Every structure is written in structure tokens, then in C-alpha cells.
Amino acid sequence: MPEPAAPASPGGVRVEHGAGVAVVTIDRPAARNAIGFATVDELDAALDEVLESDAAVLVLRGGGDRAFVSGGDLKELSTIRTHEQAVGMASRVRRLLDRVASLPIPVVAALNGHALGGGAEVAIAADIRVAADDVVIGFNQVTLGIMPAWGGAERLAQVIGRGRALLAIGTGERYDAAAAQRLGLVDVVVPRDDFDAEWRALAQRLADTASGTTRAVKAVVSATAPPVHPHLEADATDAFAHLWTGDAHWKAVEALEQQRRTG
């Protein structure tokens, strides 16, 4: 089993190792595990640590049971106002998630809580998604007048198909775990009470195969359906930046903030 967790860091990221399984947890309870600037840097460092270890499987999860990742930290992202800044932010996190997707070992997203917006993009960067039966997942960025910025649109289309991806992103539909599994967005759904035991058992089962097996299998599967699309980055981040700097986005952000103040 993984070693005891280290004290919380500024970005909320901690890494645990045990029996061939590395577990990377984003634990920022005050921000519902949102990804801030420090989180991005710490996740990058965590991937370096995993690559230098003997891990055969990586598990990504959020702290607690309310949120897997709630998206980008809106308080921090509110400082991004120019087209250039928006492209820079989108490219930075997209490349981080490209690292996750192209890791030479299988990556399991353990959806301990809701995965919305950017959180869904983190989830879709994994190879396998295991969800508790009470979670919700959705690419609902459209509610803020924007679109997935971190490579999630391309990865979603690859996983569930072009038409379904357009519907999911264009409507901002939120799917419960059962609906997400039917869609192919989630691979395994387990009862909440069994969640921790089930994702750990699955990760351990993968890690317990013969040495090097998980890397070989990941390499072959990835060759048939490449999980990263660097040639699309420039156009995708430019399109996102136009939406981010548009009036519709900031009006939606203002409305959300007003709702939170009065709610």
C-alpha cells in the first residue's frame, strides 16, 4: 500500500508510492481541488518523480469525496485578461496534460468526486477512468462562454466519437456516473462505499503483471490512437483565447460571482 502522505504543499499536490503504484493527489479542499498556478508546477514535478521511480501504474485523484478536480482556480485565472496571457495559460496546462496522456505507464483517473470543466479535461487525459457511482462529469465550459482549453476536446472526440463530443461540449451536459459509462466517458463505476478499495485493487492488478508489461501494452495501444495532438495546439489555444477575452465570457463570470455572493 502507498506510504503515508506528505504534508500539504502550496499547490496541494502529494505523491505516494507503493508496490508499483504511484498515487498523485490534488488536495485543495478550500478550492474544491481546483488547479492553480502552483498546482501546475507541482504536478509537473510529480510526473518527474513518478518517471524516476519503478512505478508501473499512476493513479490521479482528488482529495476528499466532493470533487476530483473542479477545473482551473477562477480566483487565479481572473488575472488573465489578454489574448497572449490566455494562450500562455492554455498551452502550459495543455502540455502538462499531454505529459499525463503520453506517460509510458497506464494512468488511472480515480474520480472520487465531481469532474467538471477543466476537471473533466484532467480525467480524459488518463487512460482509464474509475468513478464512484454518485459523481458527475461534464465538459461544461460553455456555461462560462468558453471551450476546453487543455486538449480535452480532441481527447474527448477520440474517446467517445466526434458527434458525441460536439454534443457534450456544445451543450455543457453533466453526466451522472451511469450515463458517463454508457457514453464511454467512464470505464468503471463502483459503489461509493467500495470506491477506494476498488480503484486501489484495479491499479494493483495492473501493476502486478510481469515487469515491463504495462509499458509495452501502453506503447502498443497508444500507437493505434495517439493521446496527444501537438499539431493542433496553436489553433486550439488561439480559439480558446478569443473566447476567454470576449465579453460573453466575462459577463458569465460576473453572473457566477454574483450568484455565489447572493446564494
- In a structure prediction context, what are the per-residue pLDDT tens digits for the chain, which is 263 residues long? 444 445 468 899 999 999 999 999 999 999 999 999 999 999 999 999 999 999 999 999 999 999 999 999 988 999 999 999 999 999 999 999 999 999 999 999 999 999 999 999 999 999 999 999 999 999 999 999 999 999 999 999 999 999 999 999 999 999 999 999 999 999 999 999 999 999 999 999 999 999 899 999 999 999 998 999 999 999 999 999 999 999 999 999 999 888 888 86
pTM, entire model:
0.95
> Are 25 and 61 within 8 A, CB to CB?
yes
Phi, psi of 71, rounded to the nearest 5 degrees:
115, -155
Is residue 52 packed enough to be buried (19+ CB in 10 Å), middle (13-18) or exposed (0-12)?
Answer: exposed
Work out whether strand 21-26 and strand 188-190 pair parallel, antiparallel, or are unpaired: unpaired
User: Strands of 175-176's sheet, edge to edge?
Assistant: 67-69, 114-116, 136-138, 175-176
What is the tens place of the pLDDT at every residue in 168-208? 999 999 999 999 999 999 999 999 999 999 999 999 999 99
SS3 for 128? strand
- Domains assigned to the chain: 13-205+223-262 (3.90.226.10)
